[in-house]
Structure 1
Amino acid sequence: MAQYSAEVDGVFLALADPTRREVVRRLGRGPLSVGDLARGFSMTLPSFMKHVRTLEANGLIRTVKTGRVRTCALRRERLAVIDDWLAEQRREWEERTDRLERFVTETKEHDHGP
């Protein structure tokens, strides 16, 4: 459970920044070089590379260097961590609301019983 929690925390941490979310969105259309990705942001390349490293460290992207060009690609399967976490939250809340509904129904029936 602790390993799963650390994975979820890392993915959410990586996606907490709007620049990194935009990088993920762009890479959703296909791999791009760091230079092409960085072109759309008003920051220095070293600052942009911090975002790339954060995304890579948390498993959301993979980079490959060929010659002088570093290409980034989205690891779509890593987004499943978020899907799994959200499904778990949804299940918990549905169970809670189901219990609340049963409690309210049973209380009404008890109060209005014979």
Structure 2
Amino acid sequence: AGVRVCASSDAPITEPDWRQGVASMMLRESKAGGRPSGPEQCVPLADALRAYTATAAWQDFADDWKGTIEPGKAADLCVLDRPLLDLDPHEITEARVDLTIFDGRVVFER
């Protein structure tokens, strides 16, 4: 329908972990029983990541300086220990952050 979907955590009710949110968007499974809830609402990885990055920046009226990786924008990103494209969505939460860059500087390195 052309609606831009933004995602975030429900912290402090849930863990503020984007990996959990992305996996949930892709799987739409109940944590209690593992049954799909609205399987027709599952989204692909690229759409789930966009909901946490580019669309979130757009919602903040900040997409001119953050939300995507390109010259002139804030260099806020993390590097994972494996490519998400190759993972079963159930394994996304197991991917570990190797490096975090904030404002162009390394602020975490495993």
After TM superposition, the score normalised by the length of structure 1 is 0.27
After TM superposition, the score normalised by the length of structure 2 is 0.28
Larger RCO: Structure 1 or Structure 2 (Cα < 8 Å, ≥ 6 residues apart)?
A: 1
Greater gyration radius: 1
Identify, as 1 or 2, the structure richer in helix: 1
